[in-house]
């Protein structure tokens, strides 16, 4: 027989008490058949949601749906086979199928596509706090019998509220001293959670469950939090780049507070403490290359200037503000991308230019050295005291490089590389520094030498042979 199949779409927000999967059938079914049963299934995972054979309770049911489903009374008489699903979660976004049987014969089927929408919350790294919102209605006679529990996707307890107070001893260490709920949340219905000092590590799905002493779930809600890391992009060759952070601080004694910038390898980039920069604590790679504004803790401008950035400085930088007890007061991340200039040339060209024009304020150019280097610290070209130092060149580049006349006065530090081949495909670094090895400028150019394309004429193979003549 032809089985009628219907299709419906239903959407619901996570946190709603329930959702209805609708299904009203044709009246003739209930009149003409006496042994009708109804089966609801999760179509994707084939989990049995509810199987009714005329009684008020399901005969069979998978554990995940136990005590969470309900059909209307007198469904056989009315033909309303709709299913109520309580406390829907995002992982229940799926297709559900309802099948109507007469004994073992399928009479009718209905597919319902359910979408459980999770609330999205976005915040920038460095903000003082973020709110995971949830306002609901609760009808609870004795709130002392109810627990509110926020957890993350890994099952770690983020915040627990019970018997009128926060249970901080039950929190995971990751969230200790970082969460807060409104006063008397079960009476007001405002179960929102404040998470302090959010970082990208806090990007997660958070679930709030309200349950009683019998572990019966009364409400359930999910919130997806994304903590965005600020992106800063800069071209190699600029004098400096700013890793920005302006915040508000309420600190009585700034002498008790430390500001520390670190990179992803936990190397100290810059340390400010007791009103001064602690250059002795810096990693050597950042020494003499960083600077903060004056009196940053009073102004709230904790931005960091990084001088002479190259692609090696492409990294994620973290600024942490903490007190003498190592308690974190603020936290911010900035992702820096330093882009090397891209140059392409076809192998066989007479030469290629690695460009760099900059500005200088140099009184005595004789005290300055310009050095182009290739991968492996090979010297490509050296200019010092007004002349090229060809004796310092790597043999691979001898008689193949050239700079413009008087480059330090004109600011044109471009390099011409003659007869490029694919072996010259590298990232080249030009560094300008003084007699004390202090870097004044730095620039990177990535050169790609591409093989020349050769057109090949298609020839039939094997070659066609002439047909023999008839004798």
Confidence at 455, pLDDT banded by 50, 70, 90? low
Is the pLDDT at 1 greater than 50? The verdict is: no
The domain limits of the chain are 5-117, 119-228, 232-339, 341-450
- 3-state class of 181 per DSSP? strand
Cβ 97 vs Cβ 109: under 8 Å: yes
Topology (CATH level 3) of domain 5-117: Immunoglobulin-like (2.60.40)
Q: Nearest Cα to 450, choosing from 346, 348, 352, 353?
A: 346
Question: Would you state the pLDDT for residue 2?
Answer: 45
Q: Nearest Cα to 98, choosing from 56, 33, 37, 13?
A: 37
DSSP 252: S
Measure the CA–CA gap between 312 and 338, rounded to whole angstroms.
Answer: 8
Classify strands 193-196 and 179-181 as parallel, antiparallel or unpaired: antiparallel
pLDDT, tens digit, 9 for 90 and up, residues 140-193: 778 888 999 999 999 999 999 998 899 999 999 999 999 999 999 999 999 999
Measure the CA–CA gap between 441 and 145, rounded to whole angstroms.
Answer: 68
pLDDT, tens digit, 9 for 90 and up, residues 12-64: 998 888 999 999 876 455 555 567 888 899 887 778 888 776 555 567 788 88
Section 315-319 average pLDDT: 96
| Helices and strands in the chain: count of H runs, count of E runs | 5, 35
Please check whether the domain covering 119-228 is classified as CATH 2.60.40.10: yes
pLDDT, tens digit, 9 for 90 and up, residues 408-450: 989 999 999 999 999 999 999 999 999 888 888 889 999 999 9
Cβ 289 vs Cβ 279: under 8 Å: no
Q: Does 4 or 428 have the greater pLDDT score?
A: 428
Section 314-322 average pLDDT: 95
Cβ 243 vs Cβ 332: under 8 Å: no
Question: Would you state the pLDDT for residue 471?
Answer: 42
Topology (CATH level 3) of domain 232-339: Immunoglobulin-like (2.60.40)
Structure tokens of 311?
């692609």
Structure tokens of 443?
């620039």
| Domain 5-117 matches domain 119-228 at the CATH topology level | yes
Topology (CATH level 3) of domain 341-450: Immunoglobulin-like (2.60.40)
Structure tokens of 67?
């005590």
């Amino acid at each position: 027989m032809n089985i009628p199949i219907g299709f419906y779409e239903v959407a619901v927000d996570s946190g709603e008490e329930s959702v209805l999967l609708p299904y009203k059938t044709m009246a003739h079914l209930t009149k003409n058949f006496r042994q009708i049963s109804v089966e609801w299934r999760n179509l994707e995972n084939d989990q049995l949601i509810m199987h009714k054979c005329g009684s008020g309770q399901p005969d069979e049911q998978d554990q995940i749906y136990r005590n969470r489903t309900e059909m209307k009374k007198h469904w056989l008489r009315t033909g309303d086979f709709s299913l109520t699903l309580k406390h829907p979660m995002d992982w229940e976004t799926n297709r559900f199928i309802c099948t109507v049987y007469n004994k073992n014969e399928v009479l009718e089927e209905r597919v319902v596509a359910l979408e459980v929408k999770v609330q999205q919350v976005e915040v920038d790294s460095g903000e003082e706090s973020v709110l995971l919102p949830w306002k609901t209605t609760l009808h609870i006679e004795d709130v002392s019998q109810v627990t509110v529990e926020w957890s993350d996707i890994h099952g770690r307890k983020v915040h627990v509220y019970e018997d009128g107070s926060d249970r901080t001893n039950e929190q995971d260490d990751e969230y200790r001293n970082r969460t807060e709920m409104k006063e008397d949340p079960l009476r007001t219905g405002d179960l929102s959670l404040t998470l302090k000092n959010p970082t990208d590590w806090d990007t997660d799905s958070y679930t709030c469950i309200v349950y009683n002493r019998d572990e019966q779930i009364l409400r359930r809600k999910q919130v997806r939090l994304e903590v965005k890391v600020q992106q800063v992009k800069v071209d190699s060759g600029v004098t400096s780049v700013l890793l920005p952070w302006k915040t508000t601080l309420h600190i009585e004694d700034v002498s008790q507070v430390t500001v520390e910038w670190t990179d992803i390898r936990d190397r100290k980039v810059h340390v400010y403490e007791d009103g001064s920069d602690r250059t002795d604590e810096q990693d050597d790679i950042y020494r003499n290359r960083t600077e903060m504004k004056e009196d940053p803790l009073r102004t709230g401008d904790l931005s960091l200037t990084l001088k002479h950035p190259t692609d090696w400085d492409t990294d994620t930088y973290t600024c942490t503000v903490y007190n003498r007890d190592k308690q974190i007061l603020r936290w911010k991340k900035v992702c820096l991308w330093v882009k090397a200039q891209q140059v392409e040339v076809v192998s066989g060209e007479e030469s290629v230019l690695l460009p760099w024009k900059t500005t200088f304020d140099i009184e005595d150019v004789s005290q300055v050295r310009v050095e182009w280097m290739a991968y492996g610290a090979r010297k490509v070209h050296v200019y010092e005291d007004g002349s090229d130092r060809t004796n310092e060149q790597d043999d691979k580049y001898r008689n193949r490089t050239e700079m413009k006349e008087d480059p330090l006065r004109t600011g044109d530090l471009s390099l011409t590389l003659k007869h490029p081949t694919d072996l010259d495909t590298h990232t080249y670094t030009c560094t300008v520094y003084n007699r004390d090895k202090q870097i004044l400028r730095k620039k990177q150019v990535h050169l790609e030498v591409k093989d020349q394309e050769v057109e090949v004429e298609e020839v039939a193979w094997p070659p066609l042979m002439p047909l023999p003549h008839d004798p």
